[in-house]
Amino acid sequence: MATTKEITIGDVNARASELETELQGETMALNVGPSHPTTHGVLRLMMELDGDVVKKCEPVLGYLHRGDEKIAENMTYNQFVPYTDRLDYLAPLANNVAYAMAVEKLAALEVPERCQSIRVLCCELARISSHLLGVGVYGMDAGAWTVFMFTFTEREKLYTLFEELTGARFTTSYTRIGGVARDIPEGWLGRVLEFCKGVLPVLDQVDKLLTRNRIFMDRTVGVGAISKEDAIAYGITGPNLRACGVDLDLRKDKPYLGYEKYDFDVPIGTNGDCYDRYLMRAEEIRQSVRIVRQCIDQFPEGAYYAEDAKKIFAPNKAKVLTSMEELIQNFMIVTEGPQVPAGEVYFEAENPKGALGFFVVSKGGGVPYRLKIRGPSFCNLSILDKLIPGHYLTDITVILGSLDFVMGECDR
Amino acid sequence: MAESDLAQLTERFDFLTERASSDHLALNCPADKLIELCSALRDDFGYDMLIDVTAVDWDVQSPRFTGIYHFLSTTKHEYIRIAADCTDDINPALPSLTGLYPAANWHERETYDLMGITYEGHPDLRRILMWDSYPYHPLRKDFPLAGIETPLPADDVAEVTGASVLPAPMMGGPFTSSGDGPMSQTEPRAKDESWTEKKEKPVK
């Protein structure tokens, strides 16, 4: 026997709008970090979620604050070099160079060509190592583990080269004011060329794995797009700025260390999204390899430090032990620091993460009166509270990975 | 390029004076004219990127605090440095540039945190690197390198453990030496000698 039953569902639209307000009132607070694999260090995000969509995002910094600027005011210029390793600890060589260049600019000191070439090599190899990690970890963030394994193997080879050059794999402390700590080891340039030969096929492989990968593209294209105007207004620098279509590379536009001698291209993005930021880094590795090759091709002979800067660069150890004048000179530089005239100077170098700047105020003598460090990651992250709202929670991983920041230089 | 900017700027704004600088174009600007100058810099002179905001503590000098701004033109590729003295030495204040350059937001929070300069008109002037309840401004010259004992930011932990944030042990370092005087005095020595390996830490 069939029965029929009548039910009323009432006004569907009214019910829906009733539910809507009920649902909207329910947001969830979510805390990510400071110790979380997504945040690549100790960044902390306090977010407000509506379902899966982030409504509000507040970055909390300072978990790695060590007071580097205060420390700098209390020691000589050379003593501070090891502290610069700990700014962007994924490219310590580039930080060493930027810091030495800033102080040398204040002392109006020009380092010899060989020293400049060594430093260019340092900067570019640091860029390659930083970007290799950046791309690898980014791939991992988006779910592509293999890329990370490939790039990390290459980075390991680079660290062996760094160890040979500086004595340390990670905390290189390689530059001194007026030069570098020691000359390049014998046969090292050949080994760098060999590395360059090996890294390009790996990049091709990464290219094949990521660039047209459907999953990777779905997760990154159009996600986390920053407009040109916003990028400039928020002071974003480096590959993150260039991904937005702004043609600004200090190596080209404010050449230092003789970068104008090298022939290289600056990749520029169009959309400023996560995908473009990946493309920038991948291409910059290739361009850095080009610079490294040209640099080694025309590697100059000569001194690796400014020989005429008697009050700035400590003399050769062999001479210190045999000659009175050099002994005194060495003693003065070690105890009182490199003698730098009074003045104010600001120098920025194009580091892997962006423009790393040092503002040095000196009243003369061997200790800076004030040293301000402008960490590119600090500025790059300042856009987060504007960039992240409106994205899905899962996009946060990709956005943070694509910005490629380091908390060491953000918190200083 | 920088020279023509200098001529045009000093002609248009008679309150500007040139500042001694070892590199880029540098100008002194009174604190109350800062907004006027910076909006002209951004809109008419092309200095569209605020690179850095910081401040210098001149210690015993007056004016004691000077705010320093670095701008970069993304088209001309030139830097400019603007310095503005804080008129008040006790409660230093400067106008906030956050309305003109969003980049100023975090930089000003940092300078407020570490140097104690109040940025008037800043939408959210809180500490950024130190924790919110921290009572000092560590980059000021009268703040000791080792730090000052302060309550632990986590109240619940402090209640149970009785722990607080202690000054850093300064045994042996960093070394400083004065430039003049007899040899015995110019030898490098630890800056804080209130306690060493041989001398116990003074008990308060």
Report how far residue A242's alpha carbon sits from residue A295's, in angstroms, rounded to the nearest whole number. Answer: 24
Q: Which segments of chain B does DSSP mark as H helices, in order?
A: 2-12, 34-43, 104-115, 155-161, 183-186
Q: Is A379 on the interface with B (CB under 8 A)?
A: yes
What is the Cβ-side half-sphere exposure of residue B161, based on CA atoms within 13 angstroms? 11
Q: Is A69 on the interface with B (CB under 8 A)?
A: yes
Q: Are A28 and A48 in contact (CB under 8 A)?
A: yes
* pLDDT tops 80 at residue A33: no
Distances (CA, A) of B47 to A136, B78, B107: 36, 8, 17
Single out the residue of A376, A340, A354, A412 nearest to residue A83, CA to CA: A412
Convert the pLDDT of each residue in A287-312 to its tens digit.
999 999 999 988 888 888 887 877 88
Cβ distance of B51 and A374 shorter than 8 Å: yes
Cα–Cα–Cα angle for A115, A118, A121, rounded to 5 degrees: 150
Optimal mutation site among A70, A332, A358, A411, interface B, most CBs of chain B within 10 A: A70
Report how far residue A370's alpha carbon sits from residue A279's, in angstroms, rounded to the nearest whole number. Answer: 38
Return the higher-pLDDT residue of A19 and A66. A66
What is the Cβ-side half-sphere exposure of residue A216, based on CA atoms within 13 angstroms? 26
Report how far residue B163's alpha carbon sits from residue B141's, in angstroms, rounded to the nearest whole number. Answer: 27
Distances (CA, A) of A408 to A73, A136, B174: 19, 19, 22
Report how far residue A93's alpha carbon sits from residue A75's, in angstroms, rounded to the nearest whole number. Answer: 21
Average pLDDT over residues A152-176: 90
The predicted pLDDT at position A7 comes to 75
Distances (CA, A) of A136 to A128, A143, A164, A244: 12, 11, 24, 21
The predicted pLDDT at position B171 comes to 55
ipTM comes to 0.83
The predicted pLDDT at position A239 comes to 92
Q: Which letter, b or e, does each residue of B115-133 get, where b requires 16 or more Cβ atoms within 10 Å of its Cβ?
A: bbbbbeebeebebbbbbee
A175 φ, ψ (degrees, to nearest 5): -90, 155
Distances (CA, A) of A386 to A289, A400, B103: 35, 13, 12
Q: List all residues 6 or more positions away from A329 whose beta carbon is below 8 Å from its beta carbon.
A: A310, A311, A314, A315, A320
Ordered by where they begin, the domains of chain A are 68-411 (1.10.645.10)
**pTM, to two decimals:** 0.85
Q: Are A311 and A338 in contact (CB under 8 A)?
A: yes
Report how far residue A282's alpha carbon sits from residue B115's, in angstroms, rounded to the nearest whole number. Answer: 40
Q: Is A405 on the interface with B (CB under 8 A)?
A: no
The predicted pLDDT at position B179 comes to 57
Query: Which residue in chain B has the smallest CA separation from A335?
Result: B188
Optimal mutation site among B27, B51, B61, B110, interface A, most CBs of chain A within 10 A: B51
Q: Is B126 on the interface with A (CB under 8 A)?
A: no
Convert the pLDDT of each residue in A181-192 to its tens digit.
888 888 899 999
Convert the pLDDT of each residue in A105-136 to its tens digit.
998 888 898 999 999 999 999 999 999 999 99
The predicted pLDDT at position B181 comes to 66
Single out the residue of A364, A99, A106, A344 nearest to residue B26, CA to CA: A344
CATH code assigned to B2-142: 3.30.460.80
Average pLDDT over residues A329-355: 88
Query: Which residue in chain A has the smallest CA separation from B74?
Result: A248
Chain A: give the shortest CA distance to residue B13, in Å.
Answer: 23
End-to-end CA distance of chain A, in Å? 81
The predicted pLDDT at position A1 comes to 62
10 Å Cβ neighbour count for A374?
24
Q: Are A280 and A227 in contact (CB under 8 A)?
A: no
Single out the residue of A158, A96, A316, A353 nearest to residue A236, CA to CA: A353
Cβ distance of B130 and A65 shorter than 8 Å: yes
Average pLDDT over residues A144-173: 90
What strands lie across the sheet with B17-18, from one edge to the other?
B17-18, B25-28, B79-85, B65-72, B49-57
Orientation angle between helical segments A274-297 and A113-141, nearest 10 degrees: 150
The predicted pLDDT at position A14 comes to 76
Q: Is A66 on the interface with B (CB under 8 A)?
A: no
Convert the pLDDT of each residue in A67-80 to its tens digit.
899 888 888 898 89
Cβ distance of B103 and A361 shorter than 8 Å: no
Domain residue extents for chain B: 2-142, 144-176
Cβ distance of B174 and A71 shorter than 8 Å: yes
Please give the helix or strand (H or E) that residue B71 lies within, else none. strand B65-72
The predicted pLDDT at position A97 comes to 93
**Chain B, window 85-104: residues with a beta carbon less than 8 angstroms from a chain A beta carbon:** 101-103
Report how far residue A326's alpha carbon sits from residue A84's, in angstroms, rounded to the nearest whole number. Answer: 28
The predicted pLDDT at position B173 comes to 56
Orientation angle between helical segments A188-210 and A145-166, nearest 10 degrees: 170
Q: What DSSP letter does each residue of A219-254 carry, written as one string?
A: HHTTTT---HHHHHHTT--THHHHTTT----HHHHS
**Token pair 């260019």 in the structure block, residue:** A120
The predicted pLDDT at position A412 comes to 85
The predicted pLDDT at position A162 comes to 92
Report how far residue A311's alpha carbon sits from residue B84's, in angstroms, rounded to the nearest whole number. Answer: 33
Q: What is the mean pLDDT of chain A?
A: 87
If DSSP codes are grouped into helix, strand and coil, which group holds residue A202?
A: helix
* pLDDT tops 70 at residue A342: yes
Q: Are B176 and A334 in contact (CB under 8 A)?
A: no
Q: What helix, strand, coil percent values describe chain B, rounded to 5? A: 25, 20, 55
Q: What DSSP letter does each residue of A255-268 carry, written as one string?
A: --TTGGGS------
The predicted pLDDT at position B186 comes to 60
Q: Residue ranges of chain B with pLDDT lower than 50? A: none
Least confident span in A1-15, A330-344, B24-38, B151-165: A1-15
Optimal mutation site among A44, A74, A229, A266, interface B, most CBs of chain B within 10 A: A74
What residue type is B198 in one-letter code?
K
Report how far residue A278's alpha carbon sits from residue A211's, in angstroms, rounded to the nearest whole number. Answer: 9
Chain B: give the shortest CA distance to residue A277, in Å.
Answer: 19
Closest in B81, B103, B138 to A233, CB measured: B103
Convert the pLDDT of each residue in A37-59 to its tens digit.
777 788 888 988 888 888 888 99
